[in-house]
Amino acid sequence: MGSIEKIHEMLTTKQCSCAELTKSYLKEIEKSNGELNAYVNVTGDEALKTAAIVDEKIASGEQIGMLEGVPMTLKDNLSTKGIETTCCSKILKGYKPIYNATVWDILSKQNAVMLGKTNMDEFAMGSSCETSCFGGAANPFDTGHVSGGSSGGVASAVGANIAPYGLGSDTGGSIRQPASFCGIVGLKPTYGAVSRYGLIAYASSLDQIGPITKTVEDASIVFDAISKYDDRDSTSKGNVGGDTYSKLNNDIKGSKIGIAREYIDGVRDDVKNAVLNAAKVYESLGAEIVYFDLPALKFALPVYYIIACAEASSNLGRYDGIRYGYKTSHYNGTHDMICRTRSEGFGEEVKRRILLGTYVLSAGYYDAYYKKAQNLRGTIIKAFNNAFENCDIILAPTVPMTAFETGHAVSDPIETYLTDICTVPVNIAGLPGVSIPCGFNAKGMPIGMQLIGKSFNEATILNAAYKYQQAAPENFKDTKWGVKL
């Protein structure tokens, strides 16, 4: 049973009230957040208000929904009406949205109890959560290691049991990579499955919101709740593949699980072995493992960094100090005000990507970079389509290594970019991918693997993930932190 089902049972059987539950989470946050830095804004009062509503419903004998009264957290790039939403950037400090992101609209209407907003790399640009203007979030397995990024705060909070689940966003691995580093589950849905409305954009054609949870059941429940068609997002398609929860525990006998050699070569041995061991588990469950080549993968990183930075350079143009957020205190005229505001408000990594993106879109370079990257994006999409003619699911490592030691990623940005190699292809092709824990390295740090599916086949990959979770529960290890349910 996942955390969400457990809490739902506790509430409906009146083992505890929603207020008591919420208070115990708030208490644990207070105790451990100083060390973890998972939350950047704790919204205790609002959480208790919602809890009171849920308790009243329960007291009056009303039925409550599965997510009703369940505490949770949102990454700080999801717009929450009246609650500061900063993308962990100085430039958005003090910005309180006047509207809710669609995902928060959906969940708040179901009386989800939001404990607070969680830490992230500034504007979701980073792989360690350390580009956050609030400093990074620590890994619950070892606080000397990073939680990963960019949704590091959510992963840290869920891994440390100071949130049962959370929503993150994934542009090039930002849900799956921190989930992998923190030994938990992270689902990046098919592009279009979840509305992006209210998600503060990093790279619009790649961004997708998804759940970070302790178990596969939890991921499935949250995904089913948030994958709804939204008229406000032109790229929204809703849950074309239908409900996933009811399909968990389907037999996978005869399923074909593909492994691309390019995904395995070059990853660290401990990671490679853990993934190959998982393949053996699948074989024991009756699935067939097929190996294939995916040479187009070598284009994935440059394509990703060109497209993501190009879109980011445009998406982040609006932060000019005029309407909201940070504004420089001394300036001489509008132009100077905008220059100073942006120079002072953005961090190094964000500036680096804005400059890169501006460059690749510039006259004279557009064809050589952006246009070529778009063409190669088509090549990668085709390569995945071909691969899926011979298998139902692709199994791959989530990250070529385990969580970095604190400070390592910041010192070498290029090396850090390279660690996104296994996650970015899924975003480029718009496919769904789920990361689940599949072992530990010698130091006890978690290793993650991802299951990649065809478009809108979330049910297929979540079912396979669930099967593995059932077969190898030892890899879903708890940490010393937080609320024990």
Partner 1 sequence: MKYELVAGFETHIELATKTKIFCGCTTRFGGEPNSHCCPVCIGLPGTLPKLNRQAVRYAIMAGLATHGEIAKISKMDRKNYCYPDLPKAYQISQLYAPLSIGGYVELSNGRKIRLHHIHIEEDAGKLIHRHGDTYVDYNRGGVPLIEIVSEPDIRSIDEAREYVEKLQQVMRYIGISDCKMQEGSMRCDVNISVRPEGTEKLGTRTEIKNMNSINNIARAMEYEFERQVDLIESGGKVVQETLRYDDATNTTSPMRSKEDAHDYRYFRDPDLVTINVSREEVEEIRASLPELPADKCRRYIDELGIPEKDAQLLTKYRKISEYFDAAREGVKSPKTVSNFIIGQIFRRTETESDKEVFDVSVTPEQLNELVKLLDSGKIRNNLAKSTLEKMLDSGKGALEFISESDMGGLDEETMITLCRQAIEENKKAVEDYRGGKEKALKALLGNVMKNSRGKADAAAAEAKLKEMIG
Contact flag: residue 234 with partner 1 (CB under 8 A): yes
Tell me, yes or no, if 151 is annotated catalytic: no
9-17, 91-99, 246-254, 414-422 -> range binding partner 1 (CB under 8 A)? 91-99
Q: Quick check: helix, strand or coil at residue 152?
A: helix
Contact flag: residue 209 with partner 1 (CB under 8 A): no
Both tokens of residue 411? 């010192």
Q: How far is the CB of 441 from partner 1 (least distance, A)?
A: 37
Residues 6+ apart with CB under 8 A from 343: none
Contact flag: residue 95 with partner 1 (CB under 8 A): yes
Contact with partner 1 (CB under 8 A) among 39, 141, 197, 326: 197
DSSP percent split of the chain into helix, strand, coil, nearest 5? 45, 15, 40
59-67, 126-134, 200-208, 295-303 -> range binding partner 1 (CB under 8 A)? 200-208
- C-alpha distances in Å from residue 429, one per residue of 3, 192, 233, 420: 31, 12, 19, 15
Interactions with partner 1, residue window 367-396 (CB under 8 A): 370
Tell me, yes or no, if 411 is annotated catalytic: no
Q: How far is the CB of 183 from partner 1 (least distance, A)?
A: 30
Contact with partner 1 (CB under 8 A) among 361, 395, 429, 445: 361
Contact with partner 1 (CB under 8 A) among 74, 88, 193, 199: 199
Judged by CB, which is closer to partner 1: 98, or 414?
98
Q: Which of 174, 255, 313, 435 is catalytic?
A: 174
Give CA–CA dist 199/474, Å, rounded.
Answer: 35
24-32, 55-63, 112-120, 198-206 -> range binding partner 1 (CB under 8 A)? 198-206
Compute the half-sphere exposure of residue 392: CA atoms within 13 Å on the CB side of its CA.
Answer: 18
Contact flag: residue 99 with partner 1 (CB under 8 A): yes
Contact with partner 1 (CB under 8 A) among 82, 94, 295, 317: 317
Contact with partner 1 (CB under 8 A) among 5, 46, 233, 270: 233
Q: Quick check: helix, strand or coil at residue 263?
A: helix
Interactions with partner 1, residue window 332-351 (CB under 8 A): 334-335, 338
Tell me, yes or no, if 108 is annotated catalytic: no
Q: Where are the alpha helices (DSSP H) in 137-294?
A: 152-159, 176-181, 216-226, 261-264, 269-284
* Nearest one of 96, 76, 255 to 168, comparing CA atoms: 76
Q: In degrees rounded to 5, what are phi and psi of residue 217?
A: -60, -45
Give CA–CA dist 485/482, Å, rounded.
Answer: 9
Long-range contacts of 48-52 (CB under 8 A, 24+ apart): 48/19, 48/22, 48/23, 50/108, 50/111, 50/112, 50/113, 50/114, 51/17, 51/18, 51/19, 51/21, 51/22, 51/113, 52/18, 52/19
# binding residues, partner 1 (CB under 8 A): 44
Question: Is the CB of residue 134 less than 8 Å from the CB of residue 152?
Answer: no
Contact flag: residue 479 with partner 1 (CB under 8 A): no
Contact flag: residue 304 with partner 1 (CB under 8 A): no
Judged by CB, which is closer to partner 1: 160, or 337?
337
Look at phi and psi of residue 347 and say left if phi exceeds 0, alpha if psi is from -120 to 50, else beta: beta
Contact with partner 1 (CB under 8 A) among 18, 87, 219, 445: 87
Both tokens of residue 327? 């504004």
Interface with partner 1 by CB under 8 A: which residues?
A: 77-79, 85, 87, 92, 95, 97-99, 101, 196-201, 203-205, 231-235, 310-311, 313-314, 317-318, 320, 322-324, 334-335, 338, 358, 361-363, 366, 370
Question: What is the set of active-site residues?
Answer: 75, 150, 174
